[in-house]
Amino acid sequence: MALSKCDVIINQQGRELLEHGTSLFPIACYDDNLAEMAVPWHWHDELEAIIIETGNVIVSVDGNDYTVQQGDGFFINTGALHGVWAACSGNCRLHSIVYHSRLVGGSLDSIFWQKYLQPLLLNTGCRCLFLDHEVPWDREVLQTIKDVWQVCVSEPSGYEFEVRNILSKQIFLLSEHYTAPQKSPSAKSLRDTERMKMMLQYVQDHYQEELSTAKIAQSAAVSESECLRCFRCVIGTTPIQYTKQLRIQKAAELLESTDEKVSDIGALCGFQEMSYFAKSFREMKGCTPREYRKRHRR
């Protein structure tokens, strides 16, 4: 199995479009240096388990921020809105495995699904779990991430069986020790998250156009003040600042992968003035668009 850099591609709902693995073997392993590119807000049906190889990262899930240090990790449940970025300067690398629950659970009428997976997936208190390498049970889960990673790198004969066996152990550990009633998000928090998904949908669909807080709020049928509150509570920024960040990220991707003129890229990504595009890009990336292209050209 080829290990990949995770380039998150999301649809208008903010839902990830990238296929993790194949329909026959739905798992993928990713190696990411967050000093180069953060993982934007998104969600997916698959389960995700992360271990931090170097540096410290901030994982934000449904509006809650967690600082995860080297050696620690994180489990993200299906459908949870999340983003990941570096918490420090310098090298900041993580390994993640993203896999569909059917790889372990099989059919919905199996004992594996009904006894172990379904309770874990439906437990709103387990939308995200911090894994501390100093805690014995967490350390076992972290080891399963490492083991899956190594097996996928080496691909020994029958490695698909070995990967499924290790993931089965991971699910057992999680279901055994974390499906007891946890502190669940409040109904208000879950409502805010769903509203955010609707508004992120709108921004993703219209970032190339002129946007305002009023337009973004209207997409979720809420007031401007409620829109501002949701953005601050869930992702810690304003609608306009998020829109600018998204535009800069889209511009960075085009600078890496196309020969389009810098000015044209700015316009394609919703910037009406070249000077504002250049200023905003430098604020976020620490260099001009042209300098960024030279450093990161694919």
Give me the amino acid identity at 40. Answer: P
Q: Quick one: average pLDDT of 143-167?
A: 95
pLDDT on residue 134: 96
The Cα-based distances of 264 to 14, 43, 94, 272, 289 in angstroms read 25, 30, 34, 10, 12
**What CATH class does 187-296 carry?**
mainly alpha
Share of the chain above pLDDT 70, in %: 91
Which CATH superfamily, name and number, covers 27-178? Regulatory protein AraC (2.60.120.280)
pLDDT on residue 16: 42
- 116 contacts: CB under 8 Å, gap ≥ 6: 104, 105, 171, 172, 175
Helix, strand or coil, per DSSP, at residue 84 = strand
The Cα-based distances of 256 to 123, 157, 243, 253, 269 in angstroms read 40, 37, 20, 5, 14
- 139 contacts: CB under 8 Å, gap ≥ 6: 132, 133
Place of tokens 């004969």: 157
- 220 contacts: CB under 8 Å, gap ≥ 6: 195, 198, 199, 202, 227, 230
pLDDT category at 184 given cuts 50, 70, 90 is low
Q: Which residue has the higher pLDDT, 29 or 14?
A: 29
Listed by start position, the domains of the chain span 27-178, 187-296
pLDDT on residue 181: 52
Task: Establish whether domains 27-178 and 187-296 are of one fold.
Answer: no
**DSSP character for 182?**
P
pLDDT on residue 189: 82
pLDDT tens readout for residues 15-72:
443 445 688 999 999 888 887 778 888 888 899 999 999 999 999 888 788 899 999 9
Lowest mean pLDDT among 170-184, 202-216, 218-232, 274-288: 170-184
Q: Quick one: average pLDDT of 104-124?
A: 91
In the sheet where 39-42 sits, what is the strand order? 39-42, 82-86, 57-61, 64-68
pLDDT on residue 199: 94
pLDDT category at 117 given cuts 50, 70, 90 is very high
- 113 contacts: CB under 8 Å, gap ≥ 6: 101, 105, 106, 107
Q: Which residue has the higher pLDDT, 19 or 170?
A: 170
The pLDDT of residue 171 is above 60: yes
Q: Of 237, 244, 179, 234, which is closest to residue 210 (Cα–Cα)?
A: 244
Q: Quick one: average pLDDT of 253-276?
A: 94
The mean of the pLDDT values for the chain is 88
pLDDT on residue 21: 67
